């Protein structure tokens, strides 16, 4: 049993960080730097990203982002997500946690690295009227959709499965707007109300759509190629992500809240249970937060609960 648990824990760590035996080097290096960073202990961003709700939020983000044909075309034509989905996940997690916990220099360098990787990601797609449209991963308009889908997913998931947000939802939207600016978003929303209004504009603009390529992407996300030991838990987490979506997006994606077995547990409760198990496995603080607290202590900026 102990051997099984160790292997299971190792697979969880490898899924999220790319390593099963030790924290990734980039997380350890977040102890370096000469400032507190853009986000600090006690902030809304630390509260949301330090919880387990981002695991569900990540799945929801991918589902939402797939509704923009420009974003989806870029992924299909310029990404190896099918061949190496865990590698892509690890790169995304590295950027999120570096911006969350790193120094300003580290956050800016990580964002610059992602934007440089995005330079060759451009091309054309047919919009809903059959007109050819150009896209670029670094285009501020497209980056705006990626940012708002992320922010909405992380906030919505935390409201359901996380704890209190210091300063409330507006604080999270306002603080994470800095991440949007680092990625080239020109005017990211600053309040939850602005974010909801912007989502409504996207929905009503006719720029989003569901087609066969979206259906293929949803099916890939539903049946992500994880280690067999992790698939039962992932099935619950996918159900949680679908549960958290607004009905209009569930309809566009061709999804409904799944049944979890012949005698289904409520999805919300089942998801909470799985996240609790993951929390016990990974510990209350991840290596990125631990490194950030060590940096703050070195700089004489002792963190709360340090």
The predicted pLDDT at position 261 comes to 67
A 10 A CB-CB count for 33 gives: 20
Are 53 and 157 in contact by the 8 Å Cβ rule? The answer is yes
| DSSP alpha helix (H) spans, the chain | 2-17, 25-28, 44-49, 53-65, 69-78, 85-101, 104-118, 140-161, 169-182, 192-204, 212-222, 231-244, 247-253, 267-282, 287-298
Sequence-distant (6+) residues with CB within 8 A of 214 are 66, 67, 72, 252, 253, 254
Report yes or no on 303 lying in a domain: no
Predicted TM-score (pTM) of the model is: 0.92
- The maximal CA–CA distance of the chain, rounded, in angstroms, is 59
In a domain? residue 227: yes
For residue 64, give its domain range: 2-298
Structure tokens at 223: 């049946």
Q: If you write DSSP's letter for every residue of 190-209 in order, what string do you get?
A: -SHHHHHHHHHHHHHTT---
Q: Is residue 138 included in any domain, yes or no?
A: yes
Per-residue pLDDT tens listing for the chain (306 residues) = 556 657 767 777 777 766 667 788 999 999 999 999 999 999 999 999 999 999 999 999 999 999 999 999 888 787 766 666 767 788 899 999 999 999 999 999 999 999 999 999 999 988 888 888 898 989 999 999 999 999 999 999 999 999 999 999 999 999 999 999 999 999 999 999 999 999 999 999 999 999 999 999 999 999 999 888 889 999 999 999 999 999 999 999 999 987 766 656 699 999 999 999 989 888 888 999 999 999 999 999 866 554
In the chain, the number of structural domains is 1
**Euclidean distance between CA atoms 43 and 40, whole angstroms:** 6
Query: Do the domain assignments include residue 304?
Result: no
Cα–Cα distance between 195 and 17 in angstroms, integer?
30
For the record, the structure tokens of 96 come out as: 């999120």
Output DSSP code: residue 31.
Answer: G
Per-residue confidence (pLDDT) for residue 306, from 0 to 100: 47
The answer to whether residue 264 sits within a structural domain is yes
Q: Do the Cβ atoms of 292 and 97 come closer than 8 Å?
A: no
Cβ atoms of 97 and 24 within 8 Å: the answer is no
**Residues of 235-265 as b/e, b for ≥16 C-beta within 10 angstroms?**
bbbbbbbbbbbeeebbebbebebbebeeeee
Per the structure block, which two tokens stand in for 167? 């300063």
Q: Is residue 21 part of a domain?
A: yes
């Amino acid at each position: 049993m102990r051997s099984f648990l160790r292997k299971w824990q190792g697979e969880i760590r490898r899924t999220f960080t790319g390593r099963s035996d030790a924290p990734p080097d980039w997380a350890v290096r977040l102890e370096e730097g000469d400032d507190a960073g853009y986000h600090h202990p006690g902030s809304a961003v630390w509260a949301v990203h330090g919880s387990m709700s981002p695991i569900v939020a990540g799945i929801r983000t991918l589902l939402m982002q797939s509704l923009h044909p420009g974003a989806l075309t870029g992924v299909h034509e310029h990404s190896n997500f099918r061949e190496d989905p865990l590698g892509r996940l690890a790169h995304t997690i590295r950027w999120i946690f570096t911006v969350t916990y790193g120094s300003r220099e580290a956050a800016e360098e990580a964002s610059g690295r992602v934007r440089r990787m995005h330079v060759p990601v451009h091309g054309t797609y047919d919009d809903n009227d059959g007109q050819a449209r150009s896209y670029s991963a670094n285009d501020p308009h497209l980056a705006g959709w990626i940012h708002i889908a992320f922010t909405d997913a992380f906030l919505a998931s935390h409201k359901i499965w996380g704890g209190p947000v210091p300063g409330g939802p507006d604080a999270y939207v306002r603080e994470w707007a800095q991440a949007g600016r680092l990625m080239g978003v020109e005017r990211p929303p600053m309040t939850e109300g602005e974010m909801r209004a912007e989502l409504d504009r996207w929905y009503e603009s006719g720029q989003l759509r569901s087609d066969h390529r979206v259906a293929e992407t949803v099916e890939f996300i539903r049946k992500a190629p994880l280690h067999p030991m992790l698939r039962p838990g992932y099935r619950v987490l996918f159900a949680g992500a679908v549960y958290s979506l607004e009905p209009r997006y569930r309809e566009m994606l061709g999804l409904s809240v799944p049944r979890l077995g012949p005698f289904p547990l409520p999805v919300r409760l089942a998801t909470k249970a799985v996240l609790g198990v993951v929390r016990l496995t990974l510990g209350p603080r991840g290596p990125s937060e631990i490194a950030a607290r060590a940096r703050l202590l070195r700089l004489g900026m002792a963190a709360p609960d340090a």
